[in-house]
Amino acid sequence: MFSIFEIMKTNLNFSVTILGNSAAIPTKQSHLSSQLVKNNNDYFLVDCGEGTQMQLIRYKTKYHKIDNIFISHLHGDHFFGLIGLISTFHLQGREKPLSIFGPKELQEIIEFQLKIVQTDLKYKLIFHHIQPNKYDQIFENKSMIVYSFPLVHRIPTWGFRFEQKPQKLNIKKDFVNSFKPSIDEILCIKNGQDYITDDGSVIPNNEITIKPPKPLSYAYCSDTRYDESILDYISGVSLLFHEATFDNTMQDLAISKYHSTAKDAATIATKGKVSKLILGHFSARHKERSQLLEEATEVFRNTILSVEGMEYTIQP
C-alpha cells in the first residue's frame, strides 16, 4: 500500500556516479570502467571492471540495491570485477535475483567460474543476451527504459541509453490540503481527469495540476571508435558519457585501436545535439587530463571530465 506522499511524488532523482574512468589498466588514482546509474530507488551498474566492488564500498553506495548490471563488451577492463561482486552478494546472503545484460558468452564465463569454485549461488542470476548490430529495448520498469546499441570496437560492443518514462501530472499541494482527495481520486487526477467536488461542481484538471518535468536521458558510449552511426542512438540525450581515451596527438593510435579522442567525443556530442558531455576511459598515458578537456571544449562547450566518486545529477 502506498502513502499519499508516495503517490503524489513524481520527481525522480536521476544520476550517475563514476566508479572507474581509466582505460585498459588501473593507476594509483584511477580505476577500471564502472558506473552506477540511479533513478530514485532503481540502481543500475554499467560495466564492472576489476576493483568495482571496492569502489562501490569506498563511495558508500547502497550497492545491495543493484538489481541490473549492464556489460558493454568482453574486454577485461569492463567485466573482470563481475565474478567478485557476484560472489560477495552470495557471501552476504543475497536472496533477490540479479539480472545481467551482456553478450551471450558472458553467461558461459560466469557459470564456468562458479562451477570451478563449486559455488552454488543463494540467489538467481538471470542472463539477458544482448543482440548484436541492432538498437534494442532490453529493459523496462515503471519509470525507466534501457536500450542497447552497437558501438564500433575491435569486438562486439554495445552502448546503453537510459530513458526516463514520462511522469504523471503533479497535483498542487493547496488543492490536496483543501479538498483532501482519496488515493483513487489522486490517481485519476494524475492521469488527467477533472475533479468533481461533493456538491457536483467540476474543477478542471489543469487548475489543480502542474506538468511534470520533461523525461531525462543518459547514454553510455565506451569503448568505440569515432563513428557517426551512433548519432541515431544518442541524439538529444540530457547527458552523454563518451570515451576519450586519447588526445589529438594520438589520433592515429585512436583509429587503429578502435578508440576515440576527446575531440571525437565532442564532435559526436555536437552532432548528436546532446545537452552535456562527460568524458572518461582515459589512457594512463595522460597524467594531466586538462589537455583532453581543452580539446573537447573547443568543439563542444558543455563538456566535463569525469571524476571518480562524483555523483552527477542528470539535468535537462
Chain residues in the site for Zn ion (CB under 5 A):
77, 223
Query: In the bound complex, what is the minimum distance in angstroms from residue 81's beta carbon to Zn ion?
Result: 13
* Residue 131: CB atoms within 10 Å: 14
Question: Cβ 36 to Zn ion, closest distance in Å?
Answer: 18
Report the C-alpha gap between 95 and 253 in whole angstroms.
46
With respect to Zn ion, which residue has the nearer C-beta, 50 or 77? 77
Respond yes or no: is residue 232 known to be catalytic: no
Q: Which amino acid does the sequence have at 315?
A: Q
Beta-bridged to residue 238, according to DSSP, are none
Q: How far is the CB of 158 from Zn ion (least distance, A)?
A: 13
Which residues, including other chains, have CB under 8 Å from residue 132's CB and lie 6 or more apart? Answer: 103, 150, 156
CB of 17 to Zn ion, least distance (A): 19
Instruction: Give the active site residue among 42, 47, 77, 247.
Output: 77
What single string gives the DSSP state of each residue in 207-242?
A: HHEEPPPPP-EEEEE-S----GGGHHHHTT-SEEEE
CA–CA distance, 119 with 139 (Å, rounded to integer): 28
Minimum CB distance to Zn ion smaller for 190 or for 225: 225
Residue whose CB is less far from Zn ion, 22 or 61: 22
**Residues taking part in catalysis:** 77
